[in-house]
Structure formats: C-alpha cells, structure tokens
Amino acid sequence: MSRELEDLARRAALNLVNRRDFLGRAAALGVTAAGANALLASAVRAAGPVKGGHLKAGLQGGESTNSLDPALSASNVPFVVLRHFGETLVEVGPDNRLMPRLAEEFSSTPDAATWSFKIRKGVEFHNGKTLTAEDVLETMRRHSDENSKSGALGIMRGIKEMKASGDTFTVTLETPNADLPYLMADYHLVIQPGGGRDDPAAGVGTGPYVVEVNEPGVRHGFRRFANYWDDSRGHAETTEILVINDATARTSALQSGQVHMINRLEPKIVSLVKRVPGVQVRNVSGRGHYVFIMHCDTPPFANNDLRLALKYAINREEMVDKILRGYGGLGNDMPINAAYPLFDDTIPQRRYDPDKARFHYKKSGHDGSPIVLRTSDVAFPGAVDAAQLFQQSAAACGIPLEIKREPGDGYWSEVWNKQPFCASYWGGRPTQDQMYSTAYLSTADWNDTRFKNEEFDRLLLEARAELNEARRKELYSRMGRIVRDEGGLICPMFNDFIDATDARVQGWEKDPNGEMMNGFAMVKCWLA
C-alpha cells in the first residue's frame, strides 16, 4: 500500500478531501473501487466519530397510537425513540456483557437476593434536574404498579422491596436471581425525573437526545442534548425518524437518499438491495425465532411420541433456505441458541428424519386423522409458506397435517396461546433465565406450549440463584435438553435482524440483542 494512498484516505476521512476526489485519485493509483472504499472505511474508523449532521432513519413499527410513555412502548419506533431520550441503569452490550450506564457499578449479596446499584453522579435530565437514586426508585415503583400498564410489569413482579439511600438504589428479591441486572436493562425501564409520575409521556430523560418533534405514527425529531454526560454517544447534531411501515416505500426511501438507515429489510429482497450502489446491508443473527407450538396438555399433543414425530417431520434446513433465504440459523426445538450467554453448543442438532418420525408417529397410536395447524401472515413473515413446507415434509413421513389459515386481525388474542397447535414467533430475551421464565416455567403467563415439568422448574430456580457460571451453564444445558426432547416447541429457525444503511453511516456494530443495533444505531453511529 502506498504512503500516498494511506495519507489520502486519512484526509478523506477527516473531510479534508471529498469522497469522490478520493475515489478518483485512488483509481488513478490503480486501486479498485471496492478496495478504495474498504480503505476509506478503515481510515474513517481510525479517525473516530464525526460530530454533527442530520441523521435520518425510516423505520417500520410506528403507529398514530404511540405514546412517549416508556411503560407503554411496545413496537420498534417507540423503542428507538426511547433509546434517544432515555437511559437505563445498565445495558447489555453487543458482546452480551452487562455495561454500567446510569448505575456506575452494581453488586449483590453472596446469595444474589439483594442487589445494589450505585447511581452515577453529575447526570442531568433534559429539564435541568440532576439524577438521584430517588428518581430511580420512583421509576421502578411506577413500572411495578398494575395501573401503569407497563410492558416491564412482568419482570418487576419478583421484587420484594426497593430502597433509595444516598446515591444507592437497592433491590431485594423474593427469590435469588443472578440475572437481576439483565432485567434492569429492559428498555422500558428508562429513568425519568420523579419516576415520570407527574407526566409519564413528557419525553424527558437523561439520554443523548432531546425530543423536539413528536408526531406519533408520522415522525420524531431530536436534537443533541448539550449537557449529556457521555462523549461517545450522540454524534449527529439532529436526528429524525420517519415512520415508514410499507416495505417498498422504506427501501425506496433509502435508495433515493431520503433516509440513511432502515430496519426490517425483507429477506426476499436482500440480494437485490445488495446490488444497489451506496447501500450497505447490515444483518446479525439474533435470538428471535419462528416457531410452531403445541399444547402439551391437549390431545393429541399430550402424547410426547406425537410431539417427537412432528419434531422429526420438519425440515429445518429447507425452512432457513426458503423462508429466511439463508438469513438465519437452524433451530433445535429449544428457544435458546448461541446468541445467549452460557449456551451449551454440544447439544446435538435435531434434523429431518422421516424414519424416526414414522416410528414415533406409530408409537403414539394416533388415529391418522389430519392434525390441524393454524397459521397466519402475522404469525411471522412467511408463516403461511412455512406451514405448507411443514405439511409437505410431514406428509412424506406419513403424517397428515391440515393447514387452517386464520385472519391476521385477532390472531394474537384468539389463536395464539388459545389453540393447541399454531405458528408464532418469539423475539428472544437477553438471558436464558428470562426466556425460560417468560414462556416455559409451569406458572408463566405466556406458557404458550402448556409445558409443565417439575424437574425443569426446579432447575430453573436453582440456576437463577447460582452465581457459579460453570454450574449455571450445566443447569441450562440440562433444561435445554428437557425442552428439546419433551417440550411442545417446534423451533425450525432463528431469524437474523436485517437492517440497511447508506454507505456514509459509520460506527455500526453487530448487536444480537435487537434490530437497529438493539435500538442504539442512531445514537452510536455517525455520518462520514
């Protein structure tokens, strides 16, 4: 590599030479366009974030009914909006490690039943007030209150007592939980002044951006908060979210340069978008998974042989290939994959096996009547097609499936968690404990497979209180095997998060915790 070229790249990164000049001169020095772009990108990284500019994103998942109240946030746009103006006590980093945020440090008693968070000093709210442990306490109290209708209510239920003294916020749990800090990283738990009790939807927090425009379902505008405490975030001077729910409109907005980032690129058009100059596809394998769920307490699914027969009768490779177009990973009939901490990768991968499927089907003694599988477009993208693939692969094993297509409206209230066999999806959770507690514990509200297993419940509680990581990993491995071999979950695939950005967007990092860099894309990235 010539010194001249390197120097040029550095100057381009610092905006001393414009990008087009750089590419032209690189070409004159005999470097291909791709090589020059890569060189420029690494020089840009070395030069560090560029401050200023107006960063725009076109996002799916916003409605006119959205509110700025963090408790009510439930879709993608409010999620990204929260990341702009608010912050949580701790965060889960792209490497799955906990990072202190508004809590400077945290620790627990040796039994993991009492946790203390030391609140960071000198952090200011957008209304000029200084952050105190009292604000944290009031915020957590509001989310624990049934009337707040908070999306985080479920994770606040195990808390016995909360206290604030000096700069320390203390939580005492009913049963020990080694993962409590992960729960405090839930995106709803944005700290608001006075807990946001006076005006929950005021949009005031400690985040890097101040809310300037709030038109739910249309657009949200932000300006950098001048007194923000952390220099490594909030690079653009202003940011703007346009709500673009239509997939084609979103893609064309990116292509025509009206936005710099979009979320939810459809797998079927990724290969086309990759060919568009100046557009970068950003995909990362996450914890979200597409599933078919059987109620373990309802005939014929009460019979584990029938459940195993159906698990062997699904072709996972084909699903990843045709439904996800390769943008995803194989599922193994448990809700956990390598994106989770403490995952045991020695659990054997279950594959399509018509012989075993036939064996278990026969052993189950099912009368041969068609098994009704309910599906809908809203269950997950491609759910109707996936059900048909399942029907065909099962038919090849002599298992008749009857597909019933349900309307999208009311699917989540009338079909999911009500009918014994249907298609669905899970977004995943930051830890194994949270995923299993949400949907696989006997008493869980959302136990959508009606899976009740005493040994599993015991292991879950034991693992939760265990601070020794090796031992926890072993316990989780056993739980995973139990769900895989006895549960009502047929998990064919884990889907990637697929976003796309303009080539000028820099600072992107792969974050398996959620789409748009777990919602942080607009506060962590910058425009070069």
One of 107, 165, 232, 258 touching another protein (CB under 8 A): 258
- The secondary structure element, H or E, covering residue 451 is none
Interface with another protein includes 443 (CB under 8 A)? no
Shorter beta-carbon distance to another protein: residue 111 or 409: 409
Give least dist CB 250 to another protein, A: 9
**CB-CB neighbours of 217 under 10 Å:** 13
Asked whether position 215 contacts another protein by CB under 8 A, the answer is: yes
Q: In this complex, which beta carbon is closest to another protein, that of residue 151 or of residue 176?
A: 151
Beta carbons within 8 Å of 142's beta carbon, 6+ residues apart:
71, 148, 150, 195, 196, 197, 200
7, 21, 63, 174: residue in contact with another protein (rule CB under 8 A) = 63
d(CA 170, CA 193): 18
Query: Looking at 198, 256, 443, 470, which residue binds another protein (CB under 8 A)?
Result: 256
Distance between CA atoms of residues 337 and 285, nearest Å: 10
CB of residue 505 to another protein, shortest distance in Å: 18
Please select the residue that binds another protein; options are 25, 219, 358, 452, rule is CB under 8 A: 219
506 has which bridge partners?
526
> Which residues, other chains included, contact 251 with Cβ-Cβ below 8 Å and sequence gap of 6+?
262, 265, 269, 273, 500
Between residues 14 and 72, which has the closer beta carbon with respect to another protein?
72
Which two three-digit tokens encode residue 61?
């998942």
How many chain residues interact with another protein (CB under 8 A)?
33
> Is residue 217 involved in binding another protein (CB under 8 A)?
yes
Please report whether residue 410 would count as binding another protein according to CB under 8 A.
no
Q: Are 332 and 491 in contact (CB under 8 A)?
A: yes
From residue 167 to residue 206, what is the string marking binding to another protein with x (rule CB under 8 A)?
----------------------------------x-----
How far apart are CB 423 and another protein at their closest, in Å? 20
Asked if 173 and 162 touch (Cβ cutoff 8 Å), the reply is no
Helices (H), 164-300: 180-184, 247-255, 267-274
161 vs 215, beta carbon nearer another protein: 215
Which residue in the set 27, 46, 218, 272 belongs to the binding site for another protein (CB under 8 A)? 218
- Strand 54-59 relative to strand 261-262: parallel, antiparallel, unpaired? parallel
Residue for token digits 């071999």?
A: 485
User: Residues 111-150: x/- map of binding to another protein (CB under 8 A)?
Assistant: -----------------------------------xx-x-
CB-nearer residue toward another protein: 377 or 485:
377
Range in contact with another protein (rule: CB under 8 A) among 67-75, 132-140, 434-442, 473-481: 67-75
**In the structure encoding, which two tokens stand for residue 476, read together?**
């989780």
What residue type is assigned to position 89 of the chain? L
**By the rule CB under 8 A, 365 interacts with another protein:** no
Q: Which listed range, 56-64, 186-194, 294-302, 467-475, lies at the site for another protein (CB under 8 A)?
A: 56-64
Stretch that binds another protein, among 34-42, 46-54, 181-189, 238-246 (CB under 8 A): 238-246
**Packed helices 469-486 and 454-465: angle between N→C axes, nearest 10 degrees:** 160
CA neighbor of 349 nearest in space, from 323, 330, 369, 327: 330
Beta partners for residue 238, in sequence order: 54, 223
Half-sphere exposure at residue 516, Cβ-oriented, CA atoms within 13 angstroms: 27
Between CA 3 and CA 61 the distance in angstroms is 47
Residue 215's contacts (CB-CB under 8 Å, 6 or more residues apart) are none
Query: Does 223 participate in binding another protein (rule CB under 8 A)?
Result: no
Give the one residue of 409, 414, 455, 469 binding another protein; rule: CB under 8 A.
409
Nearer to another protein, 201 or 482 (CB): 201
Residue 144 C-beta: closest distance to another protein, Å: 14
Tell me if 414 contacts another protein by CB under 8 A.
no
Rounded Cα distance, 489 and 475, in Å: 20
272 touching another protein, by CB under 8 A: no
Tell me 124's DSSP state: B
Pair of tokens at residue 349: 């991968």
Nearer of residues 98 and 156 to another protein, judged by Cβ: 156
Site map for another protein, 303-332, x if CB under 8 A? ------------------------------
Length of the chain: 528
Q: Which of 4, 246, 455, 469 binds another protein (CB under 8 A)?
A: 246
Residue (244 or 459) nearer to another protein, CB: 244
On the question of a cis peptide bond just before residue 300, with omega within 30 degrees of 0, the verdict is: yes
The 3-state DSSP class for residue 55 equals: strand
Residues found near another protein in the complex (CB under 8 A):
58, 63-67, 69, 72, 146-147, 149, 201, 213, 215-219, 242-246, 248-249, 252-253, 255-259, 409
